[in-house]
Amino acid sequence: MSEENGVIYRISGPVVTATGIRSRMYEVVRVGHEGLMGEVIELHGEKSVIQVYEDTSGIRPGEPVVRTGQTLSVQLGPGLLKQIYDGIQRPLPILAETMGTFIERGVDADGLDQEKLWNFEPAVSVGDEVSAGTTLGTVQETETIVHKIMVPPGQGGKVTSIESGEFNVTHVVCNLDDGSEIAMMQKWPVRTPRPYTQKYAPDTPLVTGMRILDFLFPLAKGGAAGIPGPFGSGKTVTQQSLAKYSDAQIVVYIGCGERGNEMTEVLDEFPHLIDPNTGKPLMNRTVMIANTSNMPVAAREASVYTGITIAEYFRDMGYDVALMADSTSRWAEAMREISSRLEEMPGEEGYPAYLSSRLAEFYERAGRVETLEGEDGSVTVIGAVSPPGGDISEPVSQGTLRIVKVFWGLDAPLARQRHFPAINWLNSYSLYPQSLDQWFRDNIAQDFPEVRVEISSLLQVEAELQEIVQLVGSDALPMDQQLTLEVARMIREYFLQQNAFHEIDAYSGVDQQYKMAKAILTFQDSAKKALAAGAQLEDVVNVSGRTDLMRARFEEGYLDRIDGLVEEMTKQIASAVEE
């Protein structure tokens, strides 16, 4: 038997041990007569331990194991966008055409369509010096996204020939003087971060259009955020809203271990969503990775790496990429299952001892960087966490919180009250405001950070007053504290609540958010003056101008009308004193 081939010695679910094979760590092998795809994850002398990315039922000891000599890699090139993959980059629509609803075992499919022709326009000439990351030419991949064909990392030299015209992704479009041939497609091992020149400090916000996020808990481009929350609290809708409205140019959505019907909803809805910036389908700038909870557990572990590698590839072209991982808890559960099959020492709650370092490895691949070509690109990672019973003291939530700088805590009681997005403003936080404040001062308003602090301190005061109100009722409070409760209610109902399914209210620009916050503070100042001059609280609170201001946010052109509405409201409050 050659050293390329071995035999199965032992099987434990997705973990297979082989003997007589001289493999390397993380090498991809083919297991059994059906050629199931697997990856070597441990070596013990003559024995190799392999995690298999497919269902292993029915294979038995003595069947062959064949080396491929490659690590788990993804194909990168034109054709990634609009595609729906499984965890190991097999295109699901193409598999569905050949075998129907269920994926058969041992099936292999290329991540990119090898036949389709793309129109390649060169950007360099013969004799030019190129290095890793240099753009050789471009392909108009979808109506909105130009795909750059770059020199793969580790290559470079003088161009000896360059072609233009329509080619498939494997066709060599450029030759270099060191003999290397460059096609439109490149391969990259998923567990290795792609190289860049330097990482920048996070000083530009990722504008999401959701008021509670942008205003109170902003996320920087290239940052990492965690959204933990119990079932039904709106994680998936929040992530879809972010995918649709955030100012990232490319979206990578990883459905990691979610229920099949939930993933189906996402796959049905996404192709119909219209990108508000271009009016074209949102799928034109989206790559989806669907790995449902009934798919093999090892492939779920790989799906997160597949997604982040694709995101880094688009970042290297100079795009801002938003990566949604829904949900990292299921990814951690896959690690736990494989770890127990390997008979490793369990850590807290049975998760492997390396859980935190794996989470950190994943989130650390986010960042705003200078690419090899000298452009700016970013990958922003937003990971949902589904803690069992909504208890965020469990290891995955805690491991995530130690790494990410933004915590958007979803709350079941708020969801039951129909307050959406159900993000709890008392226990959520963002550590980015200091580095983003300058951007807000320069681009929105000089006093933006002060307004933010004032709004959040009003919400804090309300929480303290609510405890007293529950004991003695609000009427027992002094007039100024009753007013504070009213202002805080206005913040909650007018500012923090937002309808993700309303075509106008679903998105609020940051300048509109600032004006809305200022309107609330203007109401507070006018009301204080009116009360000091002897007006009644009910008269001040119930002026029709305030109701108009709050209702008009569902109408077109609200940003232009808001100043007039605030002026009308202050006039009415002032006249309440005279009455």
Q: Where are the domains of the chain?
A: 5-71, 113-184, 198-430, 448-578
| Residues contacting 329, CB < 8 A, separation 6+ | 257, 384, 385, 386, 387, 396
- Sequence length of the chain is 579
The pLDDT value given to residue 107: 83
| Residues contacting 569, CB < 8 A, separation 6+ | 519, 522, 523, 526, 543, 545, 546, 548, 549
Identify whether 57 is preceded by a cis peptide bond (ω within 30 of 0).
Answer: no
- Distance separating the N- and C-terminal Cα atoms of the chain: 100
pLDDT (mean) for 28-57? 93
Write the pLDDT tens digit of every residue in 433-489: 999 999 999 999 999 999 999 999 999 999 999 999 999 988 889 999 999 999 999
Q: Is 355 exposed, middle or buried (0-12, 13-18, 19+ CB in 10 A)?
A: buried
Query: Higher-confidence residue: 390 or 551?
Result: 551
Query: Which residues, listed in sequence order, are joined to residue 174 by a DSSP beta bridge?
Result: 162, 182
Write the pLDDT tens digit of every residue in 497-555: 999 889 899 999 999 999 999 999 999 999 999 999 988 999 999 999 999 999 999 99
Pick the closest to residue 178 from 156, 163, 162 (CA basis): 156
Q: How far is C-alpha 504 from the chain's CA centre?
A: 23
Q: How far is C-alpha 494 from the chain's CA centre?
A: 27
Q: Buried b vs exposed e over 476-506: b needs ≥16 C-beta within 10 Å?
A: ebeeebbbbbbbbebbbebbbbbebeeeebb
Pick the closest to residue 253 from 176, 178, 313, 308 (CA basis): 308
Query: Higher-confidence residue: 403 or 577?
Result: 403
Taking 70 as the threshold, does the pLDDT of residue 563 lie above it? yes
Q: How far is C-alpha 100 from the chain's CA centre?
A: 30
C-alpha distance from residue 84 to each of 48, 129, 257, 441 (Å): 32, 37, 15, 40
- Mean pLDDT rounded to a whole number for the chain: 92
Residue at token pair 């090898």 = 114
pLDDT (mean) for 391-398? 92
Pick the closest to residue 186 from 263, 119, 269, 112 (CA basis): 112
The pLDDT value given to residue 295: 83
Distance CA(220)–CA(540), nearest Å, equals 39
- Whether residue 199 contacts residue 367, with contact meaning beta carbons closer than 8 Å, is answered with yes
Write the pLDDT tens digit of every residue in 90-105: 998 888 888 777 778 8
Write the pLDDT tens digit of every residue in 290-348: 988 888 888 888 999 999 999 999 999 999 999 999 889 999 999 999 999 999 999 99
pLDDT range class, residue 3, cuts 50, 70, 90 = low
Q: Is 8 exposed, middle or buried (0-12, 13-18, 19+ CB in 10 A)?
A: buried
Tell me the CATH class for 198-430.
alpha beta
Tell me the CATH class for 448-578.
mainly alpha
The pLDDT value given to residue 1: 40
Distance CA(24)–CA(69), nearest Å, equals 8
Distance CA(371)–CA(317), nearest Å, equals 8
- Whether residue 377 contacts residue 367, with contact meaning beta carbons closer than 8 Å, is answered with no
Q: Which amino acid is at 102?
A: F
User: What ranges in 533-552 are assigned the alpha helix state H?
Assistant: 537-541, 544-551
Residue 68, CB-side half-sphere exposure with 13 Å CA sphere:
16
Distance CA(102)–CA(15), nearest Å, equals 22
Distance CA(558)–CA(561), nearest Å, equals 5
CATH no. for 113-184 = 2.40.50.100
Residue 579 has a CB neighbour count (10 Å cut-off) of 7
Q: Domain 5-71 belongs to what topology?
A: Elongation Factor Tu (Ef-tu); domain 3 (2.40.30)
- Which percentage of the chain shows pLDDT scores above 90? 77
Distance CA(149)–CA(170), nearest Å, equals 12
- CA-CA-CA-CA torsion for 235, 239, 240, 243, nearest 10 degrees? 180
The model's pTM is 0.93
